[in-house]
Amino acid sequence: MSIPAVEESWARIEAWLARHAPVSRARLRPPAAGEEIRAAERELGLVFPPDLVASLRCHDGADHGEGAPEVAYYGPPARVADIVRHTAMLRDIGTDLGDVDGDEDELGAYWRQEWLLITLGADGQASDGLFLTVRPGPGHGRVGHSRTEDAPVFTPWSSLRHLLADFAEALEEGRPFAGRVPVGIDGALRWEDDRSVVSDPVSPLALAARSAEPEPPAPVEPAAPSAPAPTEDRGAGPRLTFVRVAPPRPQPLPDQPDLVFAEGLTPAELLRRLGAIHATVRPRSRPHAEHAAVSPWAAHRPMVRAGTTGGWAYAVQEEGAAQFVRPEVLRAVSEGTRAVALTRQGPEARRTVVVDGVPDEEAARLVMSPRENVASVPDRKLARRLGVDPWPGSTAAYARLLTELDGEFGIRYRPGDDAGTGLPSALLLPLLDDLPDPACGPAGEVRGFDLAALVDRTPFERLRRACAAQLRRLAAETGIDAYPEIADALARTGREEHLGPDAGEHLGPDDGERLGLDAGEHLGPDAATNFGLGVGDPLDLRIRTLAAETWAARQSVRGGTGPVGPEDLSAWIAREGAAQALRAFVLLPVPMAAERILGVRLSARWRDELATDLGEGGTQPAAGRVNS
């Protein structure tokens, strides 16, 4: 298949920009003069490849600024002056880093003398742009990508001619280019992610359900002391004795787990409030809990054990993501009582007191420790001392705060005393994170779209109906509409007129009129209950399960073991994001929900679909009309 000439590809690019992105078309510069190109070659000591010369003779790159046509996330085409200035700058950086030219791997250096920058990179960062190599050999003229925080790579394009041909075809066909889809928005070329996810991702929780919980590990019997080996009597006389000298072994670090205490509760009730999975509740010792929590059966879910001390129930976290530092967890634990949490995370030792969901700021304590296992060595370098406590300040603070619990709250507890006891324990299905405060309001923009203008010009009911339609599109493209709890909630979003908890109370005097609300009107105080979003309700459990799937998939991919792959993780992230957008639609004011929903749409055509859902069709005002 023949590749169009550079001039032909540029003509096609210009034609598309003229029709769909005239602002970007106007940013293309006139042709570069031949003498300017030859002067650049002399200054850099290189001969430009014919494709680059032909491209510059069509357009001397693009003017910088708003609306400049970008080659996907590689940035706008570079001008001759940009090529000279930034190539020289990157050469200097490569020299400072000690890179040398030679016959070794061409990508084994920060920047080669034979590379020419041809785009300015994302956000105008030249160190993140495309380059051409003019190194002699079969790869001459190949297109590479210089990455700011990673090693450079070669792209699939063997020449600038191939790149421009693919660029022109992507514009004309609306096809992905470097993973993104070109669209014309408000007269400018923009790039949208056009993602899809696997329809049936591998489920870490389903795999866990097919695994059995491991039984407690067998106790390790101490080794019997061995008899001293007999020594051979060599008679009197001098002896040479070798003595092995080793530094003393450091003392083991103290046992300082995350703890939470709740006054007047039973261990069973405390486990329930923490989100215990009923089928996993059973007595476990600490070694048993730790052994089970790192097995495939646990699927990276947190494990806690619960007991009592005096008039308090307590829970100790054995494994998993930290729970007792989360305000939503402490609020649930302290409902109708008071809760005290003692947590230790590296340099930080923290005590938190919450009374019936309200933090007691005066009773809170926070100690930050400097790191003390780092020492200076010659040549002004730092080294870490192994086997010592890196944060002795927070270690001591934890012990002190634990002691103070007795005097201030009557709580007596020593970590480790219950390690061998079979305490009630369970895996947790973690509670959902808090949503943003409705008083914060929505962002002005989402993905480059003027959300504030949309809210200003759109009557409330029309905006709500359009957001509900967008939500259904999002559910379909992520596959969450297959879950019955979500399907039921989606059906109800099309019928309910008043959603969200007291949203009107958080709006200013002008906001209510702007959103089409009468004075004092709110969006429904019982929405969470009506939609099954109370803690433990079906929709709440479904969203929490999706969050647990995402967390487990992320840990599995990070560990590089098991059948869960990156495509599965992407699907779970998309599903959780869509489910959280549904939750936002139910519980937040509609403009804030719109920000969530539009922010996680997968289709690159979401702007056109939004115009359709708003009933604006081809008459949408300038705030985001798409031409493609």
CB contact at 8 A, 132 and 50 = no
Helices (H), 286-391: 286-293, 327-333
Both tokens of 597, joined, read 């929903």
Among residues 422, 394, 409, which one has the least CA distance to residue 307?
422
Find residue 170's DSSP bridge partners.
none
pLDDT of residue 626: 47
SS3 percent helix, strand, coil of the chain, rounded to 5, is 40, 15, 45
| Burial status of residue 219 (CB atoms within 10 A of its CB: 0-12, 13-18, 19 or more) | exposed
Beta bridge partner(s), residue 184: 189, 627
**pLDDT at residue 516, as a whole number:** 36
CA distance 136 to 297: 56
The DSSP call for residue 74 is G
Strands (DSSP E) contained in 194-238 are: none
Q: Say what percent of the chain tops pLDDT 90.
A: 64
Low-confidence residues of the chain, pLDDT below 70? 1, 98-105, 219-252, 374-387, 496-526, 617-628
Q: In terms of C-beta distances under 8 Å and separation of at least 24 residues, what long-range contacts does 14-20 make, across chains too?
A: 16/168, 16/171, 16/172, 17/69, 17/171, 17/189, 19/184, 19/627, 20/171, 20/183, 20/184, 20/189, 20/627, 20/628
- b/e code 112-136 from CB counts within 10 Å (16+ = b): bbbbbbbbbbbeeebbbbbbbbbbe
Task: Check: CB of residue 368 under 8 Å from CB of residue 394.
Answer: yes
Residue 426's H or E segment, with its range, is strand 423-427
Contact 544, 431 (CB under 8 A): yes
Q: What ranges make up the beta strands (E) of 275-334?
A: 282-284, 303-309, 312-319
How confident is the model at residue 202, as a pLDDT?
96
Tokens 């929903």 belong to 597
Q: How far apart are CA 359 and CA 373, in angstroms?
A: 34
State the pLDDT at residue 186.
Answer: 83
pLDDT score at 539: 95
Here the tokens at position 458 are 């759109």
Q: Tell me the H-state helices in 327-459.
A: 327-333, 392-409, 451-457
List of residues 6+ apart from 596 with CB closer than 8 A: 580, 581, 584, 585, 588
pLDDT at 497: 42
Instruction: List the one residue out of 619, 614, 472, 609 whose CA is nearest residue 183.
Output: 609
376 phi, psi to nearest 5 deg: -80, 140
List, for residues 291-321, the tens digit of each pLDDT value: 999 999 999 999 999 999 999 999 999 999 9
Strands (E), 524-576: none
Pairing assessment for the beta strands 423-427 and 282-284 based on DSSP bridges: antiparallel
pLDDT at residue 431 in the model: 97
Q: Virtual CA dihedral for 456, 458, 460, 465, nearest 10 degrees?
A: -140
Confidence (pLDDT) at 381: 57
Closest CA to 315 of 410, 428, 394, 167: 428
Instruction: Please give the radius of gyration of the chain, using alpha carbons only, rounded to the nearest integer.
Output: 32
* Average pLDDT score, the chain: 86
Residue 126 DSSP label: G
Reading the block at residue 175, the tokens are 């096809």
- Per-residue model confidence as pLDDT tens digits over 119-166: 998 777 777 889 999 988 878 899 999 887 778 889 999 999 999 999
